[in-house]
Structure 1
Amino acid sequence: MPNVLVLSFEGFSFSSRQLYEQLLPKLLSRAAIHESLTIQDAMNYILSGWPNVILVTDPVIAEESEESQRLLEAVADYTKHHSCTTILMGFFVAAIETETLDYIFKHHFNLKWKALPEEPSTHEARIHASDQSLLRTTTLVPKLVANAAWLTGVAPPQATYFGPIERGIAYAAFTRVGLGKLGYIGDTGFGDEPERLVLAMCHLDRPEDRIMHDEDFEK
């Protein structure tokens, strides 16, 4: 059973389901879950080699304090060298500064992803993920309309959902970084669609979660 570490420091407790109503019960039935409410607790779990998945749900990890920066470096190093999947999601994407997120992508994960330099906005997005070994798509909705903090600079093989073609923006992205994987889910509504995406990125989706058919991709 995978070990999932949830970083939740700002009082929006993941376990009280203030972020995603149905995600925690599903995770609890499929993985061992620990929610860290302090940076030191998170560091202890990471340094022990416990997590297979890290869910970053708020932007405290990106603050300028020495403690936060030490945690960010630990998460990035652990992800790249211990086959861990780290997902940036929830209030993290809604609250983090654009320049800070760009810096994290470039300097901690060597990615060209950049935050769209505007407030979260609503667009239609269509599923794009094609590497089934990286991410299964059978439990994901083929298209959605979402208010999100969108990304630019995402190469097609790294995009899970692309927004309007003329804008070249991504709603979600997922790629290999070293031995691990990094995911980004820009949704700021915290509904059913991003819940499904979290489960898929964690490889905790199941056949009973399937909601679409192959013909959906032919339209």
Structure 2
Amino acid sequence: MATTDLAKPLILLVSLNLLSFFDETYASLLTQLSSKATVKRIKKQDSVIRLLSEGPRPSAVLVTDEALTREENSGAWEAVLQYVRQGGTSVVMGHYSSFVQPDDIKPFFAKAGLPWKSASYQRTTLVLNREAVGDSLAACLPPRYSQKALSVDNVARADAWYVTDEDSVVESMVFAPTSANVVGESPVVFARVGDGKLGYIGDVNAEEGSTTVVLAMCRLLS
């Protein structure tokens, strides 16, 4: 999976609770990351702390599961947040939204100074918030796409990359469509923390649109 070209940016995958099917589910993302960056996976807390304190400094850190919400792994989360506050980029994604306990989300992001908490879990079509991403990046991102995702609430509009609108409905093969337009919620957010940026992607099915979003947050779109 990892490349060895030291001229490429370094992307760290923090995967303390790596599941056997992660690589298959996220094959497209891993392939695209590896074509643009050196990708290194970390599966132990002490390695996360050491690598983020000693270097080389990564271009981005992807937190791929819920393990850092647990008290025994709090040192790794603090190391990630310290890296972000010093100008780094981290994105919480992958299996995090599928396996995190909803009550653990608020205290997890509170450590970053963010008020996000667990919100709607549903499939709906979201629309790109061009004001949040800017015109240049908006040209590279899907204008709208459907995803089954766990949203977070208390999100500032300027931090929500994708939002619901009046056309967004709960997409279900069982139930009649109802409005999914909730102000303040989003499953795709990217906020400033200190001198860096912290993102969250709640998509549980690795939609291709979300792959593009990860690349964008990691500044790897070209």
Consecutive unaligned residues of structure 1, counting only runs of 5 or more, are: 207-219
Letter in 2 for 1:32: T
Instruction: Indicate yes or no: 2:74 matched with 1:69.
Output: yes
1:190 aligns with 2:206: yes
**Residue 97 of structure 2 aligns to a residue in which SS?**
helix
Structure 2 residue matching 1:141: 3-state secondary structure: coil
Residue of 110, 113, 121 corresponding to 1:110: 113
Aligned CA RMSD, in angstroms, stands at 2.1
Alpha-carbon distance in 1 for matches of 2:161, 2:71: 30
Aligned match of 1:42 in 14, 39, 48? 48
Give the count of matched residue pairs: 199
Moved more, 192-201 or 97-106: 97-106
Question: Match for residue 217 of structure 2?
Answer: 201
C-alpha displacement of 1:164: 4.3
Q: How far is 1:52 from its partner?
A: 2.2
Determine what percentage of the aligned residue pairs are the same residue.
27
My pick for the range that moved more, 51-60 or 163-172, is 163-172
| Structure-2 change in CA distance of 1:40 and 1:135 (3 Å) | farther
1:60-209 mapped onto 2 (5 Å cutoff):
60-65=67-72, 68-81=73-86, 83-106=87-110, 108-116=111-119, 120-132=121-133, 136-164=137-165, 166-168=181-183, 169-206=185-222
TM-score computed with the length of structure 2 as normaliser: 0.82
CA contact (8 A) 1:12 1:18 kept: no
**Counterpart in the other structure of 1:216:** none
Whether contact under 8 Å (1:129, 1:157) holds in the other structure is no
Contact 1:79/1:85, CA 8 A, preserved across alignment: yes
Deviation per CA, 1:76-123, whole angstroms, max 9, x where unpaired? Answer: 111112x110000011122112222111222x211122221x5x3111
1:142-201 Cα shifts (integer Å, max 9, x gaps): 111111001111111110001246412212001211111001111001121110000000
2:64 corresponds in structure 1 to: 57
Q: Which stretch has the larger CA shift, 164-173 or 22-31?
A: 164-173
Gaps of 5+ in 2: 1-7, 167-180
Q: Distance in 2 between matches of 1:2 and 1:19?
A: 23
